[in-house]
Chain A
Amino acid sequence: MTIDTGAGSRATSPAGAARALDLLDGPVTDTTLRRYLEGIPGVDAVGLEQRAGGLGTRSIKTTSKAWALDRIIELVDLTTLEGADTPGKVRSLVAKALNPDPSDATCPRVAAVCVYGDLVGTAVEALGASHAPRARAAGHGPGIAVAAVATAFPSGRASLAIKLADVADAVAAGADEIDMVIDRGAFLSGRYSQVFDEIVAVKDACRRPDGDDAHLKVILEVGELSTYDAVRRASWLSILAGADFIKTSTGKVPRAASLPMTLLMLEVVRDWYQMTGEQVGVKPAGGIRTSKDAIKYLVTVAETAGEEWLQPHLFRFGASSLLNDVLLQRQKISTGHYSGADYVTID
């Protein structure tokens, strides 16, 4: 499998190419991408952090808090990405996704489960009639999607052919969403067109024979991009190449999602929307463990991109331990007393 870097070949992936060709002055090459991306003004780091800090101080009480907790659950990609994952672990994750709080039937379901590619089949089977495509077809609400990490997650260090095979494998197994990692090495050494081409190629690989396609989330891994400027450029690059979602991190490096990083990415998404009318999603992942933190993210989304973004197709939390904390807070609100870890499932 080889990828032609000439502009002509991109006629096969109109979404990405169209987005980019409209904006770049000329064909997609390292030069035109660099001219565009490095022409984006730098980030005012102090201002950004101050703004994020300010958004984090809102006090959310009673009914708003109850609403926020339910909404957080609806926005969660319940995740297990361990080397030690087993089919049994995935089935118990799916059971939790279907019924997060067995003691409370009013508890909403999560948006998706997120697993490694080889476990997609197990997750789809465990979801059964609640799997998103089947649930939608039967008219039983949105159902629960299966997201798979692919493209040699988490490092992304493999040849393009292997990455594409990884994606195709997960899509064939029934994945509804693909979380790909960008090649940070290529991005940091300025080979923007290589990153661009990979995203375009992966987007292609997300197509199913039936014409439907898996949603593509592009993981920037902000902890390895280090600077706000680089994250802003990578966000633009990913959106230009056709990402449906931009995601902060893999959760495998120490500096994962932070409020300022997420705010920065939301600003790019907002700017893109104002420019083109296209809505791109954002997914902070890694390190969001408490309801309090998650509520700060909701506030940030509502204040930056708009409340419209607080929906599963435009905003997600990648999290594993967050759900339990949200359930404890829900129980506190519904019973009037503090709950404890003995009253939610261990995962």
Chain B
Amino acid sequence: MRIIAAVVLVTLFTMAAKRATLVPGRSQNIAEMALDFVRVNIAEEILGHSARKYLPMLTTMFFAILAFNITGVIPFLNIASTSLIAMPLVLALWTYLVYLSSGIKKFGVGGYLKNALFPPGIPVFLYILITPIEILQVFVFRPLTLALRLTANMIAGHLLLVLCFGASNFFFIHAAGAMKALSAVTLTAGLAFTLFEILVAGLQAYVFTLLTAVYINMAIEEEH
């Protein structure tokens, strides 16, 4: 299903890009709006003038995650690719490698580590506390939380939907008498959660991409 999502995503954008002209049409406007959202609200807002370098990565991430998330509410696909840990893990690994490598490229290995682990402007004795925390932050927590946040959200959403629709099914077919009426309630809840899942799909894509941008920014920034 992630292959289907990928193919659909790529086809949509390639079509929009192929027909792209100077004066945008309807589909091009939508594509540009979506791309501009990543470019302006994520890349340029966080990274400022170094946004251009990381823009392709952030854009790919945002739309890939969005596509993989949205499969969770599409009938017959019904499960988000990102609700399996593998995809978020790969994405987080990508972020991890990019922010480490761009930090090292900018400051050198020593410079980057000093910058990241011994943040300037803090009393020296606090480094006893700060440095272990930063080590865990930079090398373990950041990628792991990225992956887990996304996976957990998608799993939870999927469970909620399954629960609602499964309950509707059960109440409507197997339950006796007045209990059948409960199926209406659960079905309504299922509908509401489907809409909610669409929101979460966009939101999680946004959060993941935003955090990636933030981590990159922290790695290449001169001062914290």
Partners in one complex: no
A binding-site residues for B, Cβ under 8 Å: none
B binding-site residues for A, Cβ under 8 Å: none
